[in-house]
Amino acid sequence: MKRTIVFTGGGSAGHVTANLALMARLREEEDWEIHYIGSKRGIERRLVDDFQQARYHVVATGKLRRYFALANITDVFKLLVGIVQAALHIFRIKPNVVFSLGGFVAVPVVIGAKWNGVPVVILEPDLNPGLANRISRRFARIMCTTFKGTVGNDRCADGKLVHVGPIVREELKYGSRARGIYACGFDSNKPVLLVMGGSQGADRINRIVRESLPKLLVSFQVVHICGHGKMDSAIRPDRRYMQLEYAHNELPDLLAMADLVVSRAGSGAIHELLLLRKPMLLIPHANGGSRLGQTANAQSFRDAGYAELLNEEGMTSQAFLEAVENAYLKRRSFVDRMKNTDMGDAAGKVIDLIRTAAGVRKGRGL
Ligand SMILES: CC(=O)N[C@H]1[C@@H](OP(=O)(O)OP(=O)(O)OC[C@H]2O[C@@H](n3ccc(=O)[nH]c3=O)[C@H](O)[C@@H]2O)O[C@H](CO)[C@@H](O)[C@@H]1O
């Protein structure tokens, strides 16, 4: 019998990409009807539409802030509308299970599932859970964690907290250094630095990288993923520097050719870099709120010996250049530490938990 699942999660790519990996696996292994509930214009819509594996349904979303803003008033209203819309979608779809990867768009869907009596499984990507998942876990049957040490595990509704590890997209493993070098027009004998400011780009990192370019380009060739609308057309074309807004199918090749990666410390990105054994310089998001989660992620990677950590607050181009140099000097020890890490099969474990929550026994009824 065909089973039905609703995925949700969005607001930034980090709350979508693991869903794409799970959807691909469910499609490949079993006969599931797959739906996705997300916002009208969020990045989740673009990524899920490109993926062409799920029917997409829209709900209104209100951003969850922990500071005063006038938009909070309209956003509470949007959140309530979103809950009703999500409940109606779920009532019509009648899924066996709902899976949430967090982000503020997921909250109405999780509550809508609860109203319909549909079991919810959530995955927390960060070491310190974000606000959306701290709300969602009260309605969830199972909360999966990416990090072993994820805190606040006492408040998942049914008390079920399972460490599964990171879910990483399979296709990232098949990049080619030669293809990346060719596509960028780089010299294969000179080291490559890849800069990824998170899925939305990072203004401060962009500025510091651009200020540092004259010195950086003495030792490195640089691929700079800047974020949508954040390219700088004033930079003169240079065979050692390439900027792009967002990497889609080319990402595996860019990662394969990188000798060092400067990155935000979003859970998705850093676990991908860990899987690919890429030495990292991590610059976590400095702002407060849920993004403090990035600092905890980055500290855990530094403590594990995988990465150099640079704080964004007060960062100068001098400090940035020194951190790049330090990380590059330590790159072999980072790679050695990463080689000793077993990433496991998190997607497989999550799919087992999804089956359990949906009341499906492995190998039966599908
Ligand atoms: C500012 C913010 O809210 N950040 C959060 C967000 O980060 P963000 O959305 O940046 O998340 P992640 O680093 O987790 O994931 C980014 C994903 O986008 C992909 N990618 C990125 C750039 C690109 O050009 N192409 C591409 O495909 C990466 O390969 C990765 O799979 O979600 C993460 C997961 O909950 C959190 O840890 C971060 O704190």
Could you tell me the CATH number of the domain that includes residue 149? 3.40.50.2000
Predicted confidence (pLDDT) per residue in 198-252, tens digit: 777 789 999 999 999 999 999 999 999 999 999 999 998 899 999 999 999 999 9
Q: Is 145 in the pocket of ligand 1 (CB under 6 A)?
A: no
Domain count, the chain: 2
Residues 15, 8: Cα–Cα separation, whole Å: 9
CA of 41 to the centre of ligand 1 (A): 17
Q: Is 269 in the pocket of ligand 1 (CB under 6 A)?
A: yes
Q: Do 136 and 217 fall into the same domain?
A: no
Is the CB of residue 3 less than 8 Å from the CB of residue 96? Answer: yes
Q: Is 150 in the pocket of ligand 1 (CB under 6 A)?
A: no
Q: Do 219 and 294 fall into the same domain?
A: yes
Q: Do 155 and 60 fall into the same domain?
A: yes
Q: Do 184 and 45 fall into the same domain?
A: no
Q: Is 312 in the pocket of ligand 1 (CB under 6 A)?
A: no
Domain that holds residue 244: 171-339
Q: Do 195 and 120 fall into the same domain?
A: no
Q: Is 253 in the pocket of ligand 1 (CB under 6 A)?
A: no
Q: Is 199 marked within a binding site?
A: yes
Q: What is the pLDDT of residue 260?
A: 98
Atom 21 (ligand 1): residue with closest C-alpha? 199
Average pLDDT over every residue of 89-104: 96
Q: Do 225 and 313 fall into the same domain?
A: yes
Q: Do 313 and 198 fall into the same domain?
A: yes
Average pLDDT over every residue of 93-118: 96
- Please check whether residue 363 lies inside any domain of the structure: no
CA of 360 to the centre of ligand 1 (A): 31
- Please check whether residue 364 lies inside any domain of the structure: no
Is the CB of residue 272 less than 8 Å from the CB of residue 175? Answer: no
User: Structure tokens of 133?
Assistant: 């998942």
Q: Do 180 and 327 fall into the same domain?
A: yes
Average pLDDT over every residue of 328-341: 96
Work out the burial of residue 44: count CB atoms within 10 Å of its CB; fewer than 13 is exposed, 13-18 middle, 19 or more buried.
buried
Q: Do 134 and 214 fall into the same domain?
A: no
Kindly provide the ipTM of the predicted complex, given to two decimals: 0.96
CA of 272 to the centre of ligand 1 (A): 10
Atom 15 (ligand 1): residue with closest C-alpha? 14
* Nearest partner of 323 among 202, 209, 207, judged by Cα: 209
Q: Is 124 in the pocket of ligand 1 (CB under 6 A)?
A: no
- Please check whether residue 365 lies inside any domain of the structure: no
Q: Is 13 marked within a binding site?
A: yes
Position in ligand 1 atom list of the atom nearest CA 284? 39
User: Structure tokens of 283?
Assistant: 């610059």
Q: Do 85 and 207 fall into the same domain?
A: no
Q: Is 246 in the pocket of ligand 1 (CB under 6 A)?
A: yes
Q: Do 199 and 162 fall into the same domain?
A: no
Q: Do 94 and 223 fall into the same domain?
A: no
Distances (CA, A) of 179 to 184, 189, 252, 255: 9, 14, 10, 11
Predicted confidence (pLDDT) per residue in 114-139, tens digit: 999 999 999 999 998 888 898 999 99
- Please check whether residue 43 lies inside any domain of the structure: yes
* Backbone phi, psi, residue 187, to 5°: -90, 125
